[in-house]
Amino acid sequence: MSESLILQHRRWWALSIAAVAAYAGMLLDYGQRLWALEYFQFYPVFVVAVLGLTISRLREGVFPDQRAWRIEPISLCLGVAALWGAGWIWSPWLAALSLLLLGDSLLSGHLAVRRCWRLLFLLLTLPMKLDEQLVHSLQRISSTYASTLLDRLNVPHLMSGNVLELADKRLFVEEACSGISSVYLLLAATAFYVVWARVRMLQAIPLILSVLWWSIVANIFRIVIIAAGIDFYGQDLTAGWQHETLGIFVLLLAMLGIYSTNNLLEFLLGQIRPDRNAQNKDPWRLKSVQFWNYLTAVRPQQRLATGTFCISLPRRPLLNTLTLLMLLSGGWYWTNVVRAKVESKRPEDLVAAQIDDSQLQQLSNREFDLLDETVFGSVSELTTDGFHTETRSALDDRNLFGARSHVWDVSTPFGKGIVAVDGPFGHWHDLRICYESQGWKFEQTSVHPIHGQLPGKDLVTVRMIDVNGQRAHLHFCLVSPMGALMHAPVGDDDSRFGARIQERLANTIIPRDSGHWWQLQMLVQHDGQSLTSEVKAEQRLFAQLLALTLQRWKRSAGVDVP
């Protein structure tokens, strides 16, 4: 092996090691976050399939000249900037975007391989929680049309928001039944087929758009089958092997619909065999056929096709520069990780680092049991009308409402309502999702500092209305037993686009499993439109409830409370 070839291999190995140092930590964190989302749990298989297809296309193609490498400068600069931004604000999402942009730039000298690599962009979660909005939209669509079909089948039911109430059972149309679980999987599978089979763009676009339609149809069918099975035959298909079998059947049904759509598009967009005998009789007809065949022709793939906005750079300086930048970024990242572990002095961090799951469960139970019906007895503006405790075992319910809840039925000068402490949660929990599943619609969402606490937008206030016209104000925050408040990653409805992006990026700074948090909420019902002064008075009342909750916890821990 020649000396120049050995040096080339050494540079590639050095770049690979630098990439591992720069990306491994944050990509591992991003992978854990993806796995926590049910609709992205297919991603390990998808990554392996895409990498395998990319390698096979690399073997089919021709590498650029050894002394030069074609790159796209825009995506390269954006990738480097995203890498440094990810380390600066601790954003695994930006780190994943950076890696994809750098790979896209380095593969711009081979378009066939680049198309394979771009499939990985499907694993980027949508910014500003747009994926959650997609979840809610699909839930509403599935619930609405499933209810219509159940009416046709004479199945007695009541659809309130995303809650399906039957005669003997109350079902929540969760994310697994709304279509979002299969939408991402079917979208990834369809896009992979489009790249693998080199489907024409004219056919690929409507084929990919059909994924949404077939996913919704299949999941409406799933909801109807579950409800009809319970009503007609008394068979519960919401748990066990029956539920999994039904899910696989629905997924195969959606794939069959996509396959049939692909065959239909091949027929509609196929070429027309010209009739040579009619050339002299109707020349315009022949020209129309030739024009259509030109549009729908499958053009041969070039063995070496490059991007439009590409430049050639010497390979050695390019690899050395990228290696240096990644080593600097990786060194900065791991230095901050070590420093954070050494310099962390918060009591909750030290406790969380030394206890196992069983001890954490015991600690959570102790904190929960400290709160009883008398905790808010000293608040003059609040009267307790009832008190009960709820414990949930189903995984979906625990994720939505928390494993345990203390609920106080209360009366306030502004109206009747409830106060609840739910949890524990390991990360930010958006309570609006729970109320939306029960049929509430949101008119306005705003974030505010909490009276008597450190400055920060930690209190979320929501004006909402249900299907019966009942209005209510919802106030909630997440708090740790040591008194720390989690910053609410929720933008005001009237905030600017840039501010919303900042809120979204700020949410990535919060570790996903940073101890345990309890959610304090207060819901106050109103007969009509309320004044701004009433909302502020409710927020002051909420601050009193939070102070009394923390006081109970801190006194039990032996902390002096003024």
pLDDT in tens, 51-88: 999 888 888 765 555 566 788 888 889 988 988 888 77
**Quick check: is 445 in a domain?**
yes
Percent of the chain at pLDDT exceeding 70: 75
Residue pointed to by tokens 């999402």: 93
Peptide bond into 424 cis (omega under 30): yes
Q: What is the pLDDT of residue 157?
A: 76
85 and 142 in a common domain:
no
Please, what sign has the CA dihedral across residues 59, 65, 68, 72? negative
Per the structure, the complete domain to which residue 413 belongs is given by 359-557
Tens of pLDDT, residue by residue over 154-175, are 888 777 656 677 776 666 665 4
Q: What is the pLDDT of residue 1?
A: 40
Across the chain, mean pLDDT equals 77
Q: What is the pTM of this model?
A: 0.63
64 and 21 in a common domain:
yes
Tens of pLDDT, residue by residue over 480-526, are 887 788 877 765 433 433 444 444 444 433 433 345 788 999 999 98
521 and 455 in a common domain:
yes
188 and 47 in a common domain:
no
Mean pLDDT of the region 277-303: 62
Are 310 and 108 contacting, i.e. CB atoms less than 8 angstroms apart?
yes
Q: Say which amino acid occupies 12.
A: W
**Quick check: is 242 in a domain?**
yes
Per-residue pLDDT band for 561 (boundaries 50, 70, 90) equals very low
547 and 411 in a common domain:
yes
CA 456 to CA 448: how far, in whole Å?
Answer: 7
Higher pLDDT: 499 or 249? It is 249
CA 351 to CA 348: how far, in whole Å?
Answer: 5
* Sheet with 517-526: strands ordered across: 383-391, 404-412, 415-425, 517-526, 471-479, 459-465, 441-448
Pick from 493, 489, 494, 514: nearest CA to 504 = 489
Cα 166 vs. chain centroid, distance in angstroms?
30
**Quick check: is 232 in a domain?**
yes
At 160 the three-state DSSP class reads strand
197 and 141 in a common domain:
yes
Pick from 171, 117, 161: nearest CA to 141 = 161
Per-residue pLDDT band for 187 (boundaries 50, 70, 90) equals very high
Pick from 28, 36, 43: nearest CA to 122 = 43
**Quick check: is 349 in a domain?**
no
286 and 225 in a common domain:
yes
CA 485 to CA 4: how far, in whole Å?
Answer: 58
103 and 12 in a common domain:
yes
pLDDT of 560 strictly over 70? no
What total number of domains does the chain contain?
Answer: 3
473 and 386 in a common domain:
yes
**Quick check: is 289 in a domain?**
yes
Mean pLDDT of the region 347-354: 40
CA 175 to CA 395: how far, in whole Å?
Answer: 13
